[in-house]
């Protein structure tokens, strides 16, 4: 969070004007004599903005009524300032401007910035006046190029992506603006690194502090770092040191010893103990500046070249979604993030992949509090430009990302390319990953996810394989590129979900994206999204504008004769598909799979997509299927053949118990029984078993001969109990290949 001591908000109603021809700023010097002249510009104090419209800050300008996807817009606001006689250093803080920003105060140019998520500030001490002041901001939102890049906007842009609004390219002042004040200097950054010794149960907290001395001379200042429990009762710690600071920027380290560290854990492994950390800079006259943040103490370890990862000495198996909250990020609030993360946690998810975007900091605060791990993407995707000029700009934004979110214990993975082309992986992604390691050598750093030419990435870079599996939705011959470049056993798609059974085992090491079966939302939500005249009969072109791939959906389901039937059929297929994939990865826990993250959690606009929670917060059937499939203690079997078993077949299917808790279960009973279509119980068996902590156990086999003259389809029911009662249930349909049963 890096909270500052003296903050005055400047949010509110500002003046606003679009400027598609860029007439409000200085023009490039020409060869004519009039290029030497000076005309009044939009940033000048004397410019009259009386005819400009009002706009809310912060907001995406689209949500304020401006259908303006690319171009320039200007903001002007006036505020009063009264010196307090103490704080002589004044800065204006922007917590998010999308995308290019230039700023002026009282007609004086402050500087420029590129990006959509970074916090940045300008020192205005020289230009601020007692009384009224004029702040002017020029925002340029570049148009979406033909291919990805050369901007770092990721999934926010209206690009050819499966789950956002293709007609939108958000822009504007999208987060808070504030005036900061301090005396004779200021704190710019606090990076708190937990150095936990698991053997001795002690820790050090390294506080790397960036401080500016604006006095113009060498000064000795006292720096105090305090570490206090935030959400539990425990010991407080602090350290004080004197530092001789030269004029300008200094970077200093302070270490706080912690003899009784209370560790931070993901929710399914332990408690989410958090500490407040506060840095105070002072001298004989009092406090110059103060900054506070929140952190957790935890230890991370990764076996090199693999996804064998540990937190506090315990191995991690990741379960959860890909997530993009809102295409208009300014709409997001802490309350909305709390609901989304709570929905994840209630569905037994312990990790969220922030997909190809950087969220507002409130998301990471909530994940810290609720114990949901974060796999953080950088906002680049696919085949980006590899030009060195863009790489230099991207690397700076990558450093900003790491430093801005550094203190969040929930973030354990940085990833520097979503499905990058191999050329991007070897240049752009490598440059970003190298810069990340310089800023943060303590977390897991992934050069890119799902590199299609995975053998090159593995052999040349010892890349921990992170693959995306889309079997059962995309066909290998749907598209060009990777879909046809690779064999069936390594291609990320497949002609059915059962093709997961033939995939090469190294490609299961970590699955940061699987799915993505699309499904219509519930009728109440659909009525808000699709106009009545296009809703039924289905106007596939209108649905496609809301990101439904009708041609692919019709491959997997028969289109019913009613809208309600289509909603049910699409949601049933989505639930089946995600259950099959999820159980497949969990049946391979650590053998070799270390985690699986489905695509995707919630719609970021009023869409008809692969989400399991729609834009209005309503859950589809797949949400509940995942809730069951992700249970930390769960019983599963190997699936019967989807298209049906041959009557007379002697089935042998493994029965598995998976346990993600750090608790042994020594006294378990698994009971399975089979019923026919009329509810008659055909067979029943009981298996006493146990399951150690954080493990997968094959507790036995289901053996059964499919009847040749029975009432199909059949249902396999599985129930696991312990001393406290029922712990997990499951069921599977067994079709037969006889014509009368299909």
Q: Is the pLDDT of residue 742 over 50?
A: no
Answer yes or no: do 193 and 140 share one domain.
no
Answer yes or no: do 65 and 211 share one domain.
no
Query: In this structure, what are the phi and psi dihedrals at residue 552, rounded to the nearest 5 degrees?
Result: -75, -40
Answer yes or no: do 37 and 144 share one domain.
yes
Answer yes or no: do 213 and 245 share one domain.
yes
497-534 pLDDT tens trace: 999 999 999 999 999 999 999 999 999 999 999 999 99
Task: Please indicate, yes or no, if residue 604 is contained in any of the structural domains.
Answer: no
> What is the number of helices (H) and of strands (E) in the chain?
13, 37
Q: Is the pLDDT of residue 739 over 50?
A: no
Answer yes or no: do 134 and 253 share one domain.
no
Token pair of 675, please? 């019923």
Q: At 741, is the pLDDT very low, low, confident or very high (cuts 50, 70, 90)?
A: very low
Answer yes or no: do 130 and 21 share one domain.
yes
Closest CA to 609 of 516, 708, 529, 491: 516
335-370 pLDDT tens trace: 999 999 999 999 999 999 999 999 999 999 999 999
Q: Is the pLDDT of residue 150 over 90?
A: no
3-state secondary structure 660-693: CCCCCEEEEEEEEEEECCCCCEEEEEEEEEEECC
Q: Is the pLDDT of residue 484 over 70?
A: no
Q: Is the pLDDT of residue 483 over 80?
A: no
Give me the pLDDT at residue 482, please.
55
Q: At 491, is the pLDDT very low, low, confident or very high (cuts 50, 70, 90)?
A: confident
Q: At 149, is the pLDDT very low, low, confident or very high (cuts 50, 70, 90)?
A: low
Q: Say which CATH number the domain at 642 has.
A: 2.60.40.10
Q: CA end-to-end span of the chain, whole Å?
A: 57
Task: Please indicate, yes or no, if residue 446 is contained in any of the structural domains.
Answer: no
Answer yes or no: do 43 and 58 share one domain.
yes
Q: Is the pLDDT of residue 147 over 60?
A: no
Q: At 294, is the pLDDT very low, low, confident or very high (cuts 50, 70, 90)?
A: very high
* Mean predicted confidence (pLDDT) in 632-656: 96
Q: What angle do CA 446, 450, 452 make, to 5 degrees?
A: 130
* Mean predicted confidence (pLDDT) in 112-130: 97
Answer yes or no: do 124 and 157 share one domain.
yes
Q: 228 lies in which domain range?
A: 185-295
Q: Are 582 and 481 in contact (CB under 8 A)?
A: no
Token pair of 565, please? 């039937």
Q: Say which CATH number the domain at 173 has.
A: 2.60.120.260
How many separate domains does the chain show?
3
Task: Please indicate, yes or no, if residue 599 is contained in any of the structural domains.
Answer: no
Give CA–CA dist 378/526, Å, rounded. Answer: 32
Task: Please indicate, yes or no, if residue 664 is contained in any of the structural domains.
Answer: yes
Task: Please indicate, yes or no, if residue 122 is contained in any of the structural domains.
Answer: yes
418-445 pLDDT tens trace: 999 999 999 999 999 999 999 999 999 9
Domain edge (last residue) among 157, 180, 203: 180
Answer yes or no: do 205 and 150 share one domain.
no
Give me the pLDDT at residue 480, please.
59
Task: Please indicate, yes or no, if residue 517 is contained in any of the structural domains.
Answer: no
Domain edge (last residue) among 295, 328, 348: 295
Answer yes or no: do 154 and 237 share one domain.
no
Q: Is the pLDDT of residue 602 over 70?
A: yes
Answer yes or no: do 128 and 259 share one domain.
no
Give CA–CA dist 193/196, Å, rounded. Answer: 9
Task: Please indicate, yes or no, if residue 302 is contained in any of the structural domains.
Answer: no
Tell me the percentage of the chain whose pLDDT exceeds 90. Answer: 88
Q: At what angle do helices 388-405 and 430-439 cross, to 10 degrees?
A: 30
Answer yes or no: do 165 and 231 share one domain.
no
Give me the pLDDT at residue 144, please.
59
Give me the pLDDT at residue 146, please.
42
Domain edge (last residue) among 295, 311, 333: 295
- Which of helix, strand or coil describes residue 721? strand
Q: Are 590 and 512 in contact (CB under 8 A)?
A: no
378-393 pLDDT tens trace: 998 888 889 999 999 9
Q: Is the pLDDT of residue 481 over 60?
A: no
Total-model pTM = 0.96
Task: Please indicate, yes or no, if residue 494 is contained in any of the structural domains.
Answer: no
Give me the pLDDT at residue 414, please.
98
Among 82-91, 265-274, 484-493, 536-545, the least confident range: 484-493
């Amino acid at each position: 969070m890096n909270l500052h001591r003296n903050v005055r908000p400047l949010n509110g109603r500002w003046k606003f004007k679009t400027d598609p021809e860029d007439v409000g700023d200085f023009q490039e010097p020409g060869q004519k004599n009039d290029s030497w002249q000076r005309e009044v510009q939009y940033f000048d104090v004397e410019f009259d903005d009386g005819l400009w419209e009002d706009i809310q800050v912060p907001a995406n300008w689209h949500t304020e009524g401006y259908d303006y996807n690319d171009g320039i817009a200007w903001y002007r606001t006036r505020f009063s300032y009264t010196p307090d006689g103490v704080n002589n250093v004044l800065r204006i803080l922007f917590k998010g401007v999308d995308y290019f920003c230039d700023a002026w105060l009282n007609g004086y140019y402050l500087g420029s910035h590129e990006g959509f998520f970074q916090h940045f500030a300008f020192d205005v001490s020289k230009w601020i006046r007692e009384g009224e002041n004029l702040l002017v901001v020029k925002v340029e939102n570049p148009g979406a190029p033909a291919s990805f890049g050369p901007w770092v906007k990721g999934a926010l842009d209206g690009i050819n992506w499966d789950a956002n609004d293709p007609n939108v390219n958000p822009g504007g002042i999208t987060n808070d603006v504030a005036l900061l004040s301090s005396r004779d200097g200021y704190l710019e950054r606090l990076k708190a690194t937990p150095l936990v010794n698991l053997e001795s149960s002690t820790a050090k907290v390294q506080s790397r502090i960036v401080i500016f001395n604006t006095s113009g001379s060498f000064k000795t200042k006292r720096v105090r770092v305090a570490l206090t429990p935030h959400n539990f009762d425990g010991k407080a710690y602090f350290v004080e040191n004197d530092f001789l600071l030269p004029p300008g920027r200094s970077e200093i380290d302070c270490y706080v010893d912690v003899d009784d560290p209370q560790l931070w854990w993901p929710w399914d492994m332990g408690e989410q103990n958090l500490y407040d950390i506060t840095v105070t800079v002072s001298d004989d006259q009092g406090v110059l500046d103060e900054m506070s943040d929140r952190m957790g103490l935890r230890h991370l370890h990764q076996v090199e070249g693999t996804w064998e990862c540990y937190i506090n000495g315990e191995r991690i198996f990741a379960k959860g979604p890909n997530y993009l909250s809102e295409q208009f990020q300014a709409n997001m609030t802490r309350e909305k993030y709390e609901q989304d993360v709570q929905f994840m946690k209630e569905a037994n998810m312990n990790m969220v992949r922030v997909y190809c975007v950087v969220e507002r900091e409130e998301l990471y605060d909530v994940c810290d509090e609720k114990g949901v791990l974060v796999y953080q993407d950088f906002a680049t995707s696919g085949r980006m430009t590899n030009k060195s000029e863009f790489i230099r700009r991207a690397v700076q934004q990558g450093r900003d990302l790491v430093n801005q979110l550094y203190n969040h214990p929930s973030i354990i993975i940085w990833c520097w390319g979503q499905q990058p082309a191999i050329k991007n992986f070897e240049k752009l992604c490598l440059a970003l990953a190298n810069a990340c390691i310089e800023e943060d050598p303590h977390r897991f750093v992934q050069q890119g996810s799902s590199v299609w030419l995975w053998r090159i990435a593995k052999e040349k870079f010892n890349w921990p394989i992170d693959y995306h599996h889309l079997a059962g939705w995309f066909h290998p011959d749907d598209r060009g590129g990777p879909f046809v470049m690779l064999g069936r056993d390594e291609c990320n798609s497949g002609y059915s979900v059962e093709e997961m059974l033939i995939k090469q085992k190294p490609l299961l090491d970590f699955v940061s994206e699987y799915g993505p079966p699309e499904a219509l939302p519930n009728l109440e939500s659909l009525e808000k999204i699709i106009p009545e005249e296009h809703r039924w009969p289905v106007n596939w072109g209108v649905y496609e504008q809301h990101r439904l791939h009708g041609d692919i959906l019709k491959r997997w389901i028969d289109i019913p004769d009613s809208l309600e039937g289509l909603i049910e059929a699409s949601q049933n297929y989505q639930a089946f598909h995600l259950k099959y994939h999820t159980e497949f990865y969990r049946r391979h826990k650590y053998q070799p799979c270390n985690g699986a993250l489905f695509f995707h959690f919630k719609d970021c606009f009023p869409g008809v997509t692969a989400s399991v929670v729609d834009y209005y917060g309503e859950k589809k059937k797949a949400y509940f299927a995942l809730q069951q499939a992700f249970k930390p203690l769960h019983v599963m079997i190997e699936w019967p053949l989807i298209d049906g078993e041959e009557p007379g077949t002697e089935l042998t299917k493994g029965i598995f118990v998976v346990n993600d808790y750090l608790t042994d279960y020594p006294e378990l009973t698994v009971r399975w029984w089979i019923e026919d279509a009329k509810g008659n119980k055909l067979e029943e068996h009981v298996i006493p078993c146990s399951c150690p902590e954080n493990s997968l156990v094959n507790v036995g086999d289901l053996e059964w001969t499919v009847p040749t003259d029975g009432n199909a389809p059949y249902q396999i029911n599985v129930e696991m109990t312990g001393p406290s009662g029922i712990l997990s249930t499951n069921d599977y349909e067994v079709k037969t290949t006889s014509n009368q049963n299909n």
